[in-house]
Amino acid sequence: MHTVVVGTSGVTASDVLAVARAGARIELSGEAVAALAAAREIVDALAAKPEPVYGVSTGFGALASRHISPELRAQLQRNIVRSHAAGMGPRVEREVVRALMFLRLKTVCSGHTGVRPEVAQTMADILNAGITPVVHEYGSLGCSGDLAPLSHCALTLMGEGDAEGPDGAVRPAGELLAEAGITPVELREKEGLALLNGTDGMLGMLVMALADLETLYKSADVTAALSLEALLGTDKVLAPELHAIRPHPGQSAAAANMLAVLKGSELTGHHQDGAPRVQDAYSVRCAPQVAGAGRDTLAHARTVAERELAAAVDNPVVLPDGRVESNGNFHGAPVAYVLDFLAIAAADLGSIAERRTDRLLDKNRSHGLPPFLADDAGVDSGLMIAQYTQAALVSEMKRLAVPASADSIPSSAMQEDHVSMGWSAARKLRTAVDNLTRIVAIELYAATRAIELREGLVPAPASQAVIDAVRAAGVQGPGPDRFLAPDLAAADAFVRGGHVVAAVEPVTGPLA
């Protein structure tokens, strides 16, 4: 099994995916253990002084003005975890919780938090044992970080609350830790606060969304090319020299992908046959511009994620010169903005895909295809309601594109009077990515059927490879009406598994 070594200088997106989705094991580097110990010495020295230090010998948030005596400090740290573990609603997905915990461990190991090495090791042990705290949908305002979700994780570290075991069953965390031979931690000064105060949940969801969307954008280029083919459109609009004079890199990449898929097609170039078309519709002709803008948005979001992965987000932080300073680095605005931006781009990609699907089904605009791609139109309804489903998904995508980060609601007696809502932005983006997968799957289903109905014209080799692969995956081709939901579910699984890209790349080479 792959092992991820956590040091003091951040982790990569690949590390996050390996731990969250592939169950990679975690080890702490010797450098990280030394940094943890050095920072802890600073915290212990400050805790011994009479002067109050936020998070070490004071209350939290709006209660920071109270100096806490030494005999109450362990209770203070336990209490902040227990009181902040106040989430409600459905459980958050296992991969999200694993990413959340791993990213918190990354910051802890930076040497800027003052957490003891044994606490960090216990965090790694829990992840390695396949124990996943129960974290709920609601409770984070994205400032100070993802407080409630991280608190539920810290509760498990203390052996309290509920968690999911490696068998998927939810049980008391104390039982699961005992079975795994893990001793619950007794939190000391600053440790409770350090375990809660970060943007780790929203960052983990951003990293996973970026990975999913990278594959989805390639898949959408393929389905757009298939739709162009099925509509007997022209591939001349994909010429590199046209995209070079508007030098957005994402646009050029999308056009190159579509051109590679269409190479060798006998269906393109017929736009002048019959009733001549000077130009294809925007949903066909402008596919690279829309998908390209989304790709460039992904690139910007990836830059933000990389910066955040390199960051140590906590308040207060331990500095190398021995100071422990309060700061505002826990504010989720940088991550929240790009989460919302990605939801906008995803909604637009879904919208243009639906317009192409609708064009394939409309006999007045499909250039010779049967109404709704039906076998016997009138007796058969064909894909009429598949497009309804796609339209419903697009409509929800537009609602999900409304930014969460434009909102703020004061909390903590007006001490935390401006918040990012980054967790909410991340949660709705996950739904948007899920919906976009289904939208692309429906276009794939319609376009492959439409190409097969173009008798006498041979599709591009790459297109044929997709058709063959999707049929082998159980997605049926043209024919009389049948129970459609299983076909759509199979198409969804095909797209979700990255099989669209896998089918074409042996023919086209790697897509951009």
Chain-centroid distance, C-alpha 143: 20
Q: Decide: 323 and 307 in contact? Cβ < 8 Å.
A: no
β partners of residue 377: 380
Question: How many residues belong to the chain?
Answer: 512
Strands 170-172 and 3-6, bridge-based pairing: unpaired
Rounded CA-CA distance 155/198 in Å is: 16
In single-letter form, the type of residue at position 10 comes to G
Rounded CA-CA distance 239/134 in Å is: 51
Q: Decide: 206 and 305 in contact? Cβ < 8 Å.
A: yes
Rounded CA-CA distance 174/180 in Å is: 10
Question: Of the residues 54, 138, 337, 445, which is catalytic?
Answer: 54
Chain-centroid distance, C-alpha 266: 38
Q: Decide: 37 and 117 in contact? Cβ < 8 Å.
A: yes
Rounded CA-CA distance 301/346 in Å is: 13
Cβ-Cβ contacts under 8 Å for 175 (sequence gap 6 or more): none
Quick one: tokens of 258?
Answer: 């579509």
Closest CA to 202 of 411, 430, 8, 418: 430
β partners of residue 6: 28
Q: Decide: 266 and 225 in contact? Cβ < 8 Å.
A: no
Segments in 362-383 forming alpha helices (H): none
DSSP structure class, residue 162 = E
Rounded CA-CA distance 258/307 in Å is: 32
β partners of residue 416: 411
Count Cβ atoms below 10 Å from residue 316 Cβ, excluding itself. Answer: 23
Active site residue 445: no
Q: Tokens 């004071």 sit at which residue?
A: 58
Q: Tokens 């100070």 sit at which residue?
A: 144
Q: Tokens 């007045």 sit at which residue?
A: 364
Q: Decide: 317 and 112 in contact? Cβ < 8 Å.
A: yes
Q: Annotated catalytic sites, by residue?
A: 54
